[in-house]
Amino acid sequence: MTLEILTADSLAPLRHGFFTRRGGASSGIFAGLNCGLGSSDQQEIVTINRARVADALKVSPDHLLTVHQIHSATALPVDAPIDVPIAQRPRADALVTATPGLALAVLTADCQPVLFADARAGVVGAAHAGWRGALDGVLEATVDAMEALGAARANIAAVIGPSISQSAYEVSIDFMDAFLANDPENARFFAEGAPGKMLFDLPGFGVARLQCAGVGRAKWTRHCTYADEDRFYSYRRATHRGEADYGRQIAAIRL
């Protein structure tokens, strides 16, 4: 099956994509393009899936770079392949580069995959932004790291790919309180859910943080990972079903 790759006009002409689960070699609960080396899927199959992504981006598999994501606010500048065993990958949640031929990638299954580009300066970035990373500043850290490589934040386009939407993201009152303690204005990202629960707008929060960081353009593709099982993996959907594990989709960009 052909890979399905979602793209954004604001990131053109740079080669990039938010890859759906379609077109992969995995089976069972991972059926499709599972690119998560940290999943319990067969590692040989995950490697095949990642090679297909690398081929679509016109880079060799060792030039498709990912890190050990830990829900942090750490953005890592890179200028060469990360040539270490899987277990020794750097612990971070964003990558930036000004080096042509490197594809920066993040893995998600409800969290926000965010691709950044200042095409004029020749600087790109990719960030994994769940609620914790977004609240702690991973998006701003990515913009800062790009600026250190010569990007101008007013020229940066940032696109949030498939993420869990507000209607599917039920959270506790305590969860909301953590956001209100950070900034009372964050109340606008919450709506009432079931009794004692709230609904959180993660991509809306992400777009607002990007705009406050001064990027020139920020948007969400408006694809919900939870609602569209045919196209996307979802951690929360798998949890609600009591499944043992879940796949991870990949988003990547290169110069």
Domain ranges within the chain, ordered by starting residue: 5-165+201-254
Which amino acid is residue 165, in one-letter code?
Answer: S
CATH number of 5-165+201-254: 3.60.140.10
Reduced to 3 states, what is the DSSP secondary structure of residue 83? coil
Sign of CA dihedral 15, 16, 20, 26: positive
Splitting the chain (255 residues) into consecutive groups of 10 residues, what average pLDDT does each group show?
A: 94 97 97 96 97 98 97 97 89 98 98 98 98 98 98 98 98 97 97 96 98 97 98 98 97 97
Which residues pair with residue 218 across a beta bridge? 158
CA distance 205 to 98: 28
Indicate whether this model's pTM tops 0.95. yes
How crowded is the C-beta side of 12, counted as CA atoms within 13 Å?
Answer: 5
CA distance 173 to 183: 15
pLDDT recorded at residue 83: 86
